[in-house]
């Protein structure tokens, strides 16, 4: 019914990023020939999802090195890296990848970018992409261990191929879980304001032929109470050392609902989401986005022009509400003590 969706492709020395804002209605790729193009795509949410943003920013850093024309590579790449990091400040994979390519480039280049350097930097980016793929497979493998047979699950936002560039994290577990008869039904929060659940997760689940049903975010309590949800599975954008987890706005409310209904609440994410420089969620900077992203849907206003609106892109779920955090390194339980 649907052709496979790749959130980005490298072709003819350019990065082509699938415009996820237009999904599921249109499939359009935006061509990025400079790192600025990539930054714009990340900022405008053409591409989103922590792991996908990570890999895409790797290609973006490569484009920055490729187009470098100055005489102080360190200063230049530091500036570029900061531009990347500040455009989605909550996602940790982004800064991980950007810093890795920056440091790698500086190490091998000795302030001079030639074809050999470019080749090695590109290889490093492809290596990151490959690591990302293998890592996600391991994440999913570990996640599957948590599921009982025929589970009915609830998920939020999109954590599939579109968010990860490969198999997916939380949604990867769900899709593989269905193939393994561990998942029988999936409820999907529409995930306001960007409707990633409605637009992207429903697309991925329907493409895979998995029985699913969309709900508005405020139906979660009703559905958990009435429809025998076994567990909630979500991704993560940044995890503090103590396990406090920043994820798409609405995740915290789900975690409270899970606690109240005594069902499991699982976070599934690559270990590169764990920020070991911060001890608790209090230190996670929550990105506040534009009001208009809430006030307009499909270009039309939903409230008065004069209305004030809040738009935190993420919220932080305290570690004690999370039953388990799954990474490629294993299954961790509260109190969290990551390797």
Which residues are near a copy of itself by CB under 8 A? 1, 24-25, 187, 189-193, 195, 198-199, 202-203, 206, 212-223, 225, 249-250, 252-253, 256-257, 259-260, 294-295, 297-298, 300-304, 306-310, 312, 315
Tell me the two tokens of residue 43.
């900022």
d(CA 158, CA 165): 12
- For the bound state, the minimum distance from the C-beta of residue 215 to a copy of itself, rounded and expressed in Å, comes to 5
Instruction: Reduce the DSSP state of residue 169 to 3 states and report it.
Output: coil
Nearer to a copy of itself, 128 or 258 (CB): 258
Tell me the two tokens of residue 129.
């992409």
- For the bound state, the minimum distance from the C-beta of residue 306 to a copy of itself, rounded and expressed in Å, comes to 6
- Mention every residue, 6+ apart, whose C-beta is less than 8 A from residue 235: 49, 50, 157, 159, 163, 169, 170, 171, 247, 248, 267, 268, 269
Q: What is the DSSP letter of 321?
A: G
Nearer to a copy of itself, 308 or 339 (CB): 308
Q: What is the phi/psi pair of residue 129, to 5°?
A: -60, -45
Nearer to a copy of itself, 334 or 338 (CB): 334
Pairing of strands 212-215, 274-275: unpaired
Nearer to a copy of itself, 12 or 310 (CB): 310
Instruction: Reduce the DSSP state of residue 26 to 3 states and report it.
Output: coil
d(CA 115, CA 265): 48
Nearer to a copy of itself, 9 or 302 (CB): 302
- For the bound state, the minimum distance from the C-beta of residue 259 to a copy of itself, rounded and expressed in Å, comes to 7
d(CA 6, CA 247): 22
- For the bound state, the minimum distance from the C-beta of residue 193 to a copy of itself, rounded and expressed in Å, comes to 5
- For the bound state, the minimum distance from the C-beta of residue 96 to a copy of itself, rounded and expressed in Å, comes to 25
Query: With 0-12 CB in 10 A as exposed, 13-18 as middle and 19+ as buried, what is 267?
Result: buried
| Contact yes or no for 111/76 (Cβ under 8 A) | no
Nearer to a copy of itself, 113 or 233 (CB): 233
Tell me the two tokens of residue 247.
């994820």
d(CA 336, CA 103): 30
Look up 237 and say whether it is catalytic. Answer: yes
Q: Which residues pair with 239 in a beta bridge?
A: 245, 274
Active-site residue, selected from the candidate residues 166, 237, 244, 315: 237
- For the bound state, the minimum distance from the C-beta of residue 320 to a copy of itself, rounded and expressed in Å, comes to 12
Which amino acids are annotated catalytic? 237
């Amino acid at each position: 019914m649907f052709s496979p969706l790749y959130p980005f492709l490298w072709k003819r020395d350019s990065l082509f990023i699938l415009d996820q804002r237009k999904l599921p209605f249109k499939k359009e790729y935006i061509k990025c020939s400079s790192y600025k193009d990539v930054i714009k795509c990340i900022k405008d949410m053409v591409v989103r999802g922590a792991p996908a943003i990570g890999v895409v920013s790797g290609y973006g850093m490569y484009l920055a090195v490729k187009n470098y024309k100055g005489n102080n590579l360190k200063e230049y790449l530091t500036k570029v890296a900061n531009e990347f990091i500040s455009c989605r400040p909550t996602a940790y994979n982004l800064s991980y990848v950007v810093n890795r390519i920056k440091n790698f480039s500086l190490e091998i280049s000795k302030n001079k970018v030639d074809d050999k350097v470019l080749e090695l930097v590109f290889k490093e980016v492809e290596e990151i992409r490959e690591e990302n793929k293998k890592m996600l497979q391991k994440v999913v493998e570990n996640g599957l261990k948590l599921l009982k047979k025929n589970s009915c699950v609830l998920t939020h936002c999109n954590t599939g191929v579109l968010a990860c560039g490969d198999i997916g994290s939380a949604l990867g577990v769900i899709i593989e879980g269905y193939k393994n008869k561990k998942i029988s039904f999936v409820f999907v929060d529409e995930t306001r304001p960007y409707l990633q659940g409605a637009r992207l997760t429903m697309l991925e689940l329907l493409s895979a032929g998995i029985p699913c049903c969309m709900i508005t975010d405020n139906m979660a309590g009703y559905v958990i109470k009435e429809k025998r949800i076994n567990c909630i599975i979500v991704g993560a954008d940044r995890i503090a050392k103590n396990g406090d987890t920043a994820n798409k706005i609405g995740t915290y409310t789900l975690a409270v609902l899970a606690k109240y209904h005594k069902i499991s609440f699982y976070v599934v994410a690559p270990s590169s989401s764990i920020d070991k420089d911060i001890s608790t969620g209090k230190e996670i900077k929550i990105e506040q986005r534009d009001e208009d992203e809430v006030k307009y849907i499909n270009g039309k206003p939903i409230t008065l022009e004069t209305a004030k609106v809040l738009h935190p892109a993420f919220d932080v779920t305290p570690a004690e509400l999370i039953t388990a955090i799954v990474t490629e390194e294993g299954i961790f339980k509260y109190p969290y003590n990551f390797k």
